[in-house]
Amino acid sequence: MSAANFHTMPDGRQIAFRHTPASSDGSKDQESAPTLVFLPGYMSDMAGGKATAMFEDAQAQGRGCLLLDYSGCGQSSGDFSDGTLSRWRDEVVTLITVEVAGPIVLAGSSMGGWLMILVAEALGARLMGIIGIAAAPDFIRWGYSAEQCATLAAGNVVYEDNPYGPDPTPTHPGFYKDALDHMRLDTEIAIDCPVRLLHGQCDDDVPWDISMKLASAMRSGNVQVTLIKDGDHRLSRDQDIALLRATLDSFY
């Protein structure tokens, strides 16, 4: 992919991003085509397999695509311990506002699927559709024990085994406190655009019934859930990427 660019937030933190704009051929269809904004998961960045595949496809097809690293992740500046859903939502919305014209399709993986909802609520009429990939809204509620929640509420860090790397995965109390203000599964989610949710039934991190609950909470009547019987949490196999491509193509 191309080298990353950087956007400076008001407090000085540098947000790394890559943006390939839609090719301009003067056609009405091209001008109204959406830009894909891909939101990676917790402690992930824009160098992941799904994000890279979507960006390269966009470049090859003349479609718009925006990738970014949240502050404290990847090439962006800042400390991960300062990261919150609110902070990362504001970074995404700022980059969309500054870099992208026209309608938006949001795709969110795991925690990015929770963040996707918050960004979608902020975009209003610009939102054309959303794609959740093992979306994990409200995971601090269903993904943590009462003991872990008490530890976080007391201002201490919780560490968990990391199946994807040698170091344990931290959850910081600031993230936990902020996330309590962004619970969505128990209320109607005021999103009316088409919603597509992909989830592997062999996902050991996010139960697939979370996507069913998310579908039920959406106000939109145009919601489809696709379950991949042998799919894991990452959904990064060739056949999973092909399904993601086909899902995205339905918005064009």
Contact 130, 63 (CB under 8 A): no
Q: How many CB atoms lie within 10 A of CB 242?
A: 11
Catalytic entry in 19, 172, 199, 233: 233
For the chain, first and last CA: distance in Å? 23
Rounded to whole angstroms, how far apart are CA atoms 76 and 31? 30
Quote the Cα angle for 180-182-186, to 5°. 95
- Asked about 233 being catalytic, the answer comes back as yes
Rounded to whole angstroms, how far apart are CA atoms 111 and 116? 8
Rounded to whole angstroms, how far apart are CA atoms 116 and 92? 9
- Asked about 110 being catalytic, the answer comes back as yes
Catalytic entry in 44, 76, 109, 110: 110
Catalytic entry in 109, 203, 211, 240: 203
Residues 6+ apart with CB under 8 A from 145: none
One-letter amino acid identity for 93? V
Nearest partner of 87 among 76, 111, 71, judged by Cα = 71
Instruction: List, in sequence order, every beta strand (DSSP E) within 12-162.
Output: 14-20, 35-39, 64-68, 104-109, 127-133, 158-160
Would you name the residues annotated as active-site residues? 110, 203, 233
